Amino acid sequence: MKKYSIKGIIVLFSAILIFGCVSIPSSKRRYSIIINPAVTNSFVQSAWLSYTAHIRADMDKYYNNNQEGEYIIPFDVELDARNSMLDFYLRVQKDYRINDEYIEDLLKIRASNLLAEYVFFSFNPGNWINENNFQEEKYREWMDNNMPGHIPLTLARVERID
């Protein structure tokens, strides 16, 4: 039976500990992207992934300062995310025949210069402040006249899983 000295055991233990600490990757937050199963077209799924990319990036910033807080999408992030989705859709639509009713509605809303109002009045979680003095009556009137059956949707979301 081989004998080990205390000093040897301590050196071995220290080496294992140091190696283990160095080789463990830094803890990165993990997220899950959930796309509604009703979205079956891969290009439309990719457009919604573009939407979630902005939100995920902002979530990372938020959780860097608030480890245990509850992330609520800020207005500007929601607006940027929807614009990103629309821009992606338009780029892909040039080369492929895709026609998503909801995204096409959003394009019409954006063309009317009311996308910010749409986001603010349709997706406000209750803590957004109307700093831009959006006119809800004007917005609702336009929607009633131009898209009376439109239902605001969010078909993708980001969840923190760690």
- Domain assignment of residue 19, yes or no: no
Within a domain: 15: no
Q: Is residue 108 within 8 Å of residue 149, measured between CB atoms?
A: no
Report residue 117 as tokens. Answer: 């109002």
pLDDT for 97 equals: 81
* Residue-level pLDDT at 95: 86
The pLDDT of residue 23 is 33
Domain total for the chain? 1
CA 158 centroid distance within chain: 5
**pLDDT at position 45, please?**
93
Residues of the chain with pLDDT under 50: 1-27
Range of the domain at 54: 30-160
Q: Tell me, yes or no, if the pTM score tops 0.85.
A: no
For position 87, what pLDDT does the model report? Answer: 96
Backbone phi, psi, residue 4, to 5°: -115, 135
pLDDT given for residue 130 in this prediction: 95
